[in-house]
Each structure stands twice: as structure tokens, then as C-alpha cells.
Structure 1
Amino acid sequence: MIRATWRSLLFLVGVWAMSVAMPMGSLLWAEPSKGKPEAGKQIYMESCQHCHGPTGKADTELAASLTPRPADLTAKTTQSKKDGQLRKAIVEGVPGTAMSAFGEAFDDQQMADVIAYIRSLKP
């Protein structure tokens, strides 16, 4: 009787742990979804171009007034970052800069679209 109860308890704890771990694991280990640059451009123009500029070069008056200047998204240093690094900067912001956290503003597909658009800015 005690073994059956103990097994049931372990089973329930396992089910609970999987329900918590699966969403987190899917973010960490899942294949990156294919973003659509054209959809990402629309999001970029609404949310990013004010600081990073319409071409991603951070060449706007607002960008010039910020210290440090926003990242040039066409530069090799930005383009060489992994998608996860770009995602982290967008979600969490970049301390010591004007890059604020967008947190949950974008769902996974929108984030993939924005990153795909940033990748399309590569010279």
C-alpha cells in the first residue's frame, strides 16, 4: 500500500515537473522557427527604427543623441551574433544603453520574424 502511494506521488511530481520543464525546454532546445523578413520589417518599422534607423544603421537624429549610440544592425558585430543573443537583447534589453526590454511584447513567431528581418539587413 505504501509503495503504491509512493509511486503515485512520484508519478504526479514527474508530471508536474514535465509540465514546467517542457515550455522552458522548448525555448532552449527547439529548432528555431523560420522567420519571415517581410513580416519582421513591419514590426521593426513600428518598434525599432526610431533608434536603429529605417536601414538598421542607427543613423537617425535620435540615435545620434543617445550615448552609447544604438547598435548598427548591419555591422558584422551584430550580424555575427547568434539568434539567441539577439533575442535576449530584445527581450531583456541591454544594460547601460537605451535598448529597453521588450519582454513579452512579441510572441515567438513575431520574434523570429524580427530576427529574420535583422538578418536581411546584412550588407
Structure 2
Amino acid sequence: MAQAIANITCVAIGGRGVLIEGAPGSGKSTLALQLIDRGAVLVGDDGVALDLRGETLWAAPPPNIAGKLEIRGVGIVDLPCSEAPVALSLLLAEAAPRLPEPGSGEWFGRAIPRLDFRARAPAAAIRAEYALARFGIP
């Protein structure tokens, strides 16, 4: 059964989910917007429904906010949304290692690679795509 998790944003890149974790105002929605501009699909903004299907953790849009993304200074916009198997978690931080080694987060007993990530650094969306390619679950 899916469990709604607040304060996590998720996008799907090439069909693989990237959880974006961080405190309010840390840049979750902004990073998601940058990734969507590069071809990602919204899963959920400031909330996702997580569910274990077999051995795979899936993220889906919660029904009450499906397709809604908050853009600061603009408001809430409607976007296409999807669900995706979770491949990586980015934990937004003010400082992140220059050459990181991923840790892991755990949901429903399933370990997911987790990387400390600076969303406000230059080229954040491109770096997030490379992080998925390098550290994400295939």
C-alpha cells in the first residue's frame, strides 16, 4: 500500500525516479523545474506516494497534488505527471563533497543510493542527470 511522504519532490528522468529531499526553501521545486525543462517528468512536488512493488520502490503523484508544481514568484502550475521506479535520492545541502561517495536512504526496507547535493550550484540540473547516470539504480 502506498504511503504519502511530505517534503520530498520527485521527477522521472528517462523513466527513473529521482527523489529530491530537503528542508522547505532548499530548492527542491526549483531543481525539479530545471530538470523538467531538460525533459524530466514531474512525479510529485513537496509530496510523493511511495510503494514497494516486488523488490522495487516506486514513486507516484499523490492524488491531491498530482500534476501541481509550485514555482516561487509565479504560483502553482499544472504539468503532466507520471510514476517511476526510484533510482536515486538527492539530499539537498548547502555544502556537498567535491568528489562524493553515495550513501543510502531506506524506504520500506529498500536501500536507495543517496547523494548530498548542492541544488543552488551552477549547472545543478546537468549535475543531477550525471549523478543519476553514475550512482542511480539501473
If the length of structure 2 is used for normalisation, what is the TM-score?
A: 0.23
Higher helix share: 1
Larger Rg computed on CA atoms: 1
| Higher RCO, 1 vs 2 (CA within 8 Å, ≥6 residues apart) | 1
